[in-house]
Copies of this chain bind each other. A is one copy, B any other.
Amino acid sequence: MTGREIDNLIKLLARLPGLGPRSARRAVLQMLKKPETLMMPLAQALEETARAMTNCSICGNVDVTDPCHICASHNRQRDMICVVEEVQDLWALERGSSFKGLYHVLGGTLSPLDGIGPEDLRIDQLVSRVKDTRASEVILATNLTVDGQTTAHYITERLLETGVKVTRLAHGVPVGGELDYLDDGTLTAALRARS
């Protein structure tokens, strides 16, 4: 309808979550008006990120460097590890900016019904990491869903042998909720009142 190349661009954009065909068209129109200030920089940012993106071999975070910028930082408390299900949970906690330790991204939750067992998550790596780095505290920040809590239980058991202090986010996170949807204040409060 709108030229093959532009049609293709609209179709690709419409595949992003939160964008449908109509909003993709509006986005493309907007970009066509600002090719130099928006379209080109966006193309370059996408290409660079797609080419350089990698998973941090220490914590599982997604970044363009390995180790990621958090694991590589000198301003973090390196003996605290906060365990999250997914990268978006890490991002949510970082937005709250009240946690200054390191992270460990599991890559999901235990889910027997979906056939996801401990070997599918980065749990062995967590146990080794806690031993190797002599971490003083592991904060379990899995979601307060059934699967998230099952996973937290399992990890607590697995970490028993290491003797590390294992804490959880305080009740303050609404039950059944997901970290990525919480406001920063609630996340900060839940971190402070961890038990």
Q: How many copies does the complex hold?
A: 2
Q: Is A62 engaged at the interface, CB distance under 8 Å to the other chain?
A: yes
Pair A18/B23 contact, Cβ less than 8 Å: yes
Collect the chain B residues with CB atoms within 8 Å of residue A193's CB. Answer: none
| Number of A residues with CB within 8 Å of any CB on chain B | 54
CA distance A12 to B34 in the complex (A): 12
| Given A19-B27, A53-B35, residue A45 in contact with residue B88 (CB < 8 A) | no
A-B residue pairs in contact (CB < 8 Å), sample of 29: A1-B91, A1-B95, A3-B63, A3-B64, A5-B45, A5-B52, A9-B46, A12-B38, A13-B42, A15-B38, A17-B27, A18-B19, A18-B27, A19-B27, A25-B91, A28-B49, A29-B88, A29-B91, A31-B50, A32-B49, A32-B53, A32-B62, A35-B49, A39-B49, A40-B51, A43-B43, A43-B46, A43-B50, A46-B46
Binding site for B on A (CB under 8 A): 1-6, 8-9, 12-13, 15-19, 23, 25-32, 35-36, 38-53, 62-65, 68-69, 87-88, 91, 94-95, 97
Collect the chain B residues with CB atoms within 8 Å of residue A51's CB. Answer: 40
Collect the chain B residues with CB atoms within 8 Å of residue A8's CB. Answer: 45
